[in-house]
Every structure is written in structure tokens, then in C-alpha cells.
Amino acid sequence: MTVTVPTDGPWLDDAAGRLIRPYTVSGGRTRPTAELDLMSLVMATGATGQTYLGPEHGEALALCHGPTSVAEIAGHLRLPAVVTKILLSDLMDSGAVTVRPPHNFDNPSDCSLLEAVLDGLRRQL
């Protein structure tokens, strides 16, 4: 699916940001059609969707060239997570993206895992 997304114009303002309310982007919907976690990984399939999707869908799809988390996509789009989940579920329904659930960590407070993350962060600084 190829979608051209304008980077400026009537929908964006340098001072005010996005001029469209989030509920307008989602078509007034408040729940996605698929269960998505913030850590779910989304990737474009390359398939062309049969239905018309808006420019925000194109922006989201452009971010999915490699496995990208729902949270990261929401951050890049500068949209609330629930609105991003609705956009991504639309893309899933059209076959444009696939979603892989996050790994199930048996013990998220595992000390060795936390120490490895801390060591990695210290090396970055």
C-alpha cells in the first residue's frame, strides 16, 4: 500500500501542532477491533488494502517497515495510544500489517534481567 502523506498543510500548524482532534482521526470510535498491547510489534505486509484509509493510516503504515511497537508508533504520530490502536486495527483488518504479541515474561522483576538493562543503560551514558 502506497500512501503519500503531506508533512505540512491545513492539518498541521508549527505553533499549535495537529489541528484535528484525536476522536476525528479514529472516526469517533473509542475501541479497536483487535486486542493490542503497547508492546505488540507491528510490521507491514506489503499487501494493498481494499478500503480507503485516511492519511493517519498512511503515516502509521510508513512507520511499520520493520517490527515496531504500538507505543513507538503512537509516539511518532503524536497521538494517544488508544487512537493509534484503532488506526493499527484498521490496518490489520485490511491486511496491510501483521501484529505479533509481546513476549510473555514470567517474572518481570527478575533481578538478573533488571541488572542487564541497567548495565546497558550505563554503557550508553
Mean pLDDT of the chain: 76
- Residue carrying C-alpha cell 501542532: 17
In a domain, 16, yes or no: no
Residue 58, domain extent: 24-123
In a domain, 9, yes or no: no
pLDDT score for 102: 80
| Domain count of the fold of the chain | 1
Beta-carbon count within 10 A of 62 CB:
16
SS3 content of the chain, % helix, strand, coil (to 5): 40, 10, 50
Outline where DSSP puts E strands in the chain. 12-13, 17-18, 41-44, 68-69, 97-100
Query: Which CATH number fits the domain that encloses residue 112?
Result: 1.10.10
Asked if residues 57 and 100 have their Cβ atoms less than 8 Å apart, the reply is no
Three cell numbers written together for 7: 508533512
* Cα(36)–Cα(29) distance, integer angstroms: 15
Output the tens digit of pLDDT for each of the chain's 125 residues: 444 444 444 455 455 455 455 555 656 566 777 888 888 899 998 887 666 677 888 888 999 999 999 999 999 988 888 888 988 998 998 888 999 988 766 666 678 878 888 898 999 87
Q: Is the pTM of this model over 0.95?
A: no
In a domain, 110, yes or no: yes
pLDDT score for 30: 60
Q: Is 8 exposed, middle or buried (0-12, 13-18, 19+ CB in 10 A)?
A: exposed
